[in-house]
Amino acid sequence: MKLSEKGFSYCALLPMSMEQEPSTSENNTSLQLLNEWIEIQDSLKERLITEDGFSWKVPPIKEVAQENQDSHGGEILKYVGGVDLSFSKDDPSIACAALVVLDFSTLEVVYEDSAIVELRIPYVPGFLAFREAPVLLELLERMKKTALPLYPQVLMVDGNGLLHPRGFGLACHLGVMADLPTIGIGKNLHHVDGLTQSRVRQLLEDNGNSCTDILTLIGDSGSTLGAAIRSTEGSLKPIFISVGHRISLASAVKIVKSSCRFRVPEPTRQADIRSKDCLRKHGLN
């Protein structure tokens, strides 16, 4: 049941309305599983919120006078989480998942946890959540029990949110399951709804010469799927931000831009670094 191997074109992932081609029993089993996954995504999607669903405020600009927050007396964003997985080079089913929490104003790590796991679900484009979400949810649950005061107000995920074939990527999946605001961070574009590398590259150049370094990604369907930004001055390659859950794209972009020391925002970057360290410490890699 190697779903990640050939034989699974995207066409085959569409809900089967008519009869199937003559196929092997293994293929049928896999198709059945994919359809179950699609049903799960569709049903979770009913709980998805794509607007700001929190009571805190994003501090205006950086480093200035952030201690004057009580002008509105409201809670401000302080704890930003990040999650990522790294894999053993030998055994692709062995991974380390990491959850970090950073102080938004200093970008210093204030919490870190990780876990070595064996993943039994393969990576299938469009279904990343079924592979990676379970461990990450465990890490979030563990933190609730042991370090609740530091629990993140928003979580950055290495993977897309709305920028997904069915509008429900890993970031959405995690957000809904954990009932937590989430932001999807993609390092590569997942081609969907007519968005291609060349098209984005094109738009980014046209737009880039003007003034803004933010490009809103609108698919052929007309819906807004996310934004492409050049986080660092030097990096021509953009990152792709999309709404995960309980946050608007505008807020997501604001938070991500304030979290970038390098191309990849610190929360996700630190989770990546520490998950790799974790693998080494355990003699893997």
Interface positions with DNA (CB under 7 A): 9-11, 84-87, 89, 92, 123, 125-129, 158-160, 164, 169-171, 184, 186-191, 197, 276, 285
Nearer to DNA, 152 or 167 (CB): 167
- Position of tokens 């509008």? 167
CB of residue 76 to DNA, shortest distance in Å: 29
Residue closer to DNA by CB (options 133, 214) is 133
Please, what is the minimum distance in Å from the beta carbon of residue 217 to DNA? 13
Rounded least distance, CB 186 to DNA, Å: 4
* CB atoms closer than 10 angstroms to residue 23: 12
Rounded least distance, CB 94 to DNA, Å? 10
Closest CB to DNA among 21 and 67?
A: 21
User: Tokens at residue 31, please?
Assistant: 């198709």
Q: Tell the smallest beta-carbon distance from residue 1 to DNA (Å).
A: 16
For 3-24, give the DSSP string: TTSSS--GGGGS---SPPPS--
CA distances from 156 to 9, 47, 175, 211, 253 (A): 29, 19, 10, 26, 11
Strands 224-229 and 214-218: antiparallel
d(CA 271, CA 256): 15
| Residue 57 or 166 having the CB closest to DNA | 166
Q: Which two tokens stand for residue 212?
A: 């803004």
Q: Please identify, using beta-carbon distances, which residue of 85 and 256 lies nearer to DNA.
A: 85
CB nearer to DNA: pick between 9 and 210: 9
Q: How far is the CB of 220 from DNA (least distance, A)?
A: 14
Question: Sheet holding 239-245: strands in order across?
Answer: 109-118, 94-103, 79-87, 154-158, 182-186, 239-245, 224-229, 214-218
Q: How far is the CB of 13 from DNA (least distance, A)?
A: 8
- Amino acid identity of 280? R
Nearer to DNA, 146 or 197 (CB): 197
User: CA 263 to CA 206: how far, in whole Å?
Assistant: 21
Hey, how many other C-beta atoms are within 10 angstroms of the C-beta on 65? Answer: 8
Helix (H, G, I), strand (E, B) or coil at 186: strand
